[in-house]
Amino acid sequence: AYTYTVRARDAAGNRSTASSQLNVTTQDGGGGGDTTPPSVPGNLRSTATSPTSVSLAWNASTDNVAVTGYEIYRGTTLVTTVTGTTHTDTGLTPATAYTYTVRARDAAGNRSTASSQLNVTTQDGGGGGGNKLLGYFTQWGIYQRAYHVKNIVTSGSAAKLTHINYAFGNVQNGQCTLGDTYADYDRFYQAGESVDGVADTWDSGALRGNFNQLRKLKKQFPNIKVLFSFGGWTWSGGFGQAAANPAAFAESCYRLVEDPRWADVFDGIDIDWEYPNACGLTCDTSGFSSFKNLMSALRSRFGSSYLVTAAITADATSGGKIDAADYGGAAQYLDWYNVMTYDFFGAWAAQGPTAPHSPLNTYSGIPITGFDSDSAIQKLKSKGVPASKLLLGIGFYGRGWTGVTQAAPGGTATGAAPGTYEAGNEDYKVLKTRCPATGTVAGTAYAHCGNQWWSYDTPATIGGKMSYSKNQGLGGAFFWELTGDTSNGELISAMKSGLG
């Protein structure tokens, strides 16, 4: 109990006599105030499952003051408390049944009664994933690298691929445009260079170049679907303008992909925007929703019979590139995401520390927490992207430093190791003999030779990554890009073997 009085005071400091006394007793600490619990959370449901996770969602509760959180129970165990109406429960056992309930809670500690029970069974870890195997074919590979569509056949890769992304088309003035017309549809192929052994013609209107070779490839391997990919690191600068008028962009892309001269070549479109509402070669400020809006427009224009996909960032850091755009919201419009789970580390950090460019998971000493494949996959799942719409990325190349004395990861360096086409970057087919792997870390290989340190995937580490893809229930895997493999398709064979 407390007693209160009040006195008035003027500028000279004179005070009145005290008011009459007021006696007040505070409430019992056991809770004499708000005693009304929130309403019961409705429509508890599962939005996605994998062998080791269950994604949950429910309808929001109401309260006489305010709902402050939701308690998620697995059986009788309190898993966590969240403020939103979704949660992904991880670390589960494959092919196992779980029961979930949710309670709403307010600031006074009142809890609703439990929601109705939801019974969910995780996917079978023995092979719940898909077997999509997608590879990038680069239009510029026909020049210095001398890699043509015919090489896809002679290497044995065509018999293993399910999809090819043709890279790249450009994005200019808010529209899809061709990036290299000579390589795309004009280069003359002699009989010995051609997929079917038949030379191109100079007849008016005849299709030549990569497009015609892809047409011939599809005739021999009708199971392969080809997508036209737009953007990439160099040509992503135009997406911001495209996002200002998504419908016009989608119309331009449709007209280009479905140009009557090569309409039968492509089965869909892939968008490689690096990066929406974030920085790549240039910085984009089009906003959190721009990517979703662009994907919605593309799906509306291309319709359900075409494939619409996107290559996306794997930056799972808090507030990083995955958080910068609405990848969860956009997923409904896409057939799948190619998650670029490579290039996490490299000699752009010239002094090191040396680190694998494509770690499958985190490890002690990793330079940046959240820069690993598993963190990206789990973060995308937590945003509501179904596992079946995620493809794991594999690099058919290595990244390396020079001036390194330490064999293990974490060493210092003086700069980028020399590469055939780019410093700090080299194809697997070269590295496998020039700088053979000397160890593994975080599910990928590394090599120390002389004063150089490289990281890259081998058939063995790819096998482990394909097992991960299957166990996580992913849609499959993809790789960048065909020219990095051996002439007999060593890496793609390992991917095919692992995916089944």
- Which residue is catalytic, options 274, 426, 481, 490? 274
Q: Is 419 within 8 Å of 346 (Cβ atoms)? A: no
Which candidate, 374, 368, 371, places its Cα nearest to that of 392? 374
Task: List the chain residues with pLDDT less than 70.
Answer: 1, 24-32, 51, 95, 123-128
Counted domains in the chain = 2
CA–CA gap between residue 383 and residue 313 (Å, rounded): 14
74-79: long-range contacts, CB 8 A cutoff, minimum separation 24:
74/98, 74/99, 74/100, 75/99
Strand pairing partners for 446?
Answer: 439, 455
What's the pLDDT tens digit per position in 217-234? 999 999 999 999 999 999
Domain identity same for 348 and 447: yes
Termini Cα distance of the chain:
76
Structure tokens at 334: 């896409």
In a domain, 179, yes or no: yes
In a domain, 260, yes or no: yes
pLDDT for 434 equals 97
In a domain, 37, yes or no: no
pLDDT for 47 equals 81
Phi first, then psi, for residue 242 (nearest 5°) are -60, -40
Return the H-helix or E-strand segment holding 292.
helix 290-302
CA–CA gap between residue 122 and residue 94 (Å, rounded): 5
pLDDT for 31 equals 45
Structure tokens at 304: 């359900």
pLDDT for 420 equals 97
Instruction: Give the Cβ contact number of residue 124 at 10 Å.
Output: 15
What's the pLDDT tens digit per position in 415-471? 999 999 999 999 999 999 999 999 999 999 999 999 999 999 999 999 999 999 999
Domain identity same for 110 and 209: no
Domain identity same for 88 and 139: no
CA–CA gap between residue 253 and residue 177 (Å, rounded): 8
In a domain, 127, yes or no: no
Domain identity same for 105 and 212: no
Structure tokens at 462: 């790819």
What's the pLDDT tens digit per position in 71-91? 999 999 898 988 889 888 887
pTM for the whole structure: 0.77
What's the pLDDT tens digit per position in 374-410? 999 999 999 999 999 999 999 999 999 999 999 999 9
Domain identity same for 365 and 459: yes
pLDDT for 30 equals 46
Domain identity same for 322 and 429: yes
Here the CATH number for the domain that contains residue 66 is: 2.60.40.10
What's the pLDDT tens digit per position in 202-217? 998 899 999 999 999 9
Q: Per-residue DSSP letters for 315-369?
A: --STTSHHHHS-HHHHGGG-SEEEE----SS-TTSTT-----SS-SS--TT-SST
Last residue of a domain, one of 98, 121, 144: 121
Which domain, by its residues, includes 46?
42-121
pLDDT for 490 equals 97
- Cis-peptide, bond into residue 228, ω within 30° of zero: no
Our answer to whether residue 422 is catalytic in this structure is no
Domain identity same for 401 and 294: yes
Domain identity same for 220 and 359: yes
pLDDT for 329 equals 97
- Cis-peptide, bond into residue 70, ω within 30° of zero: no
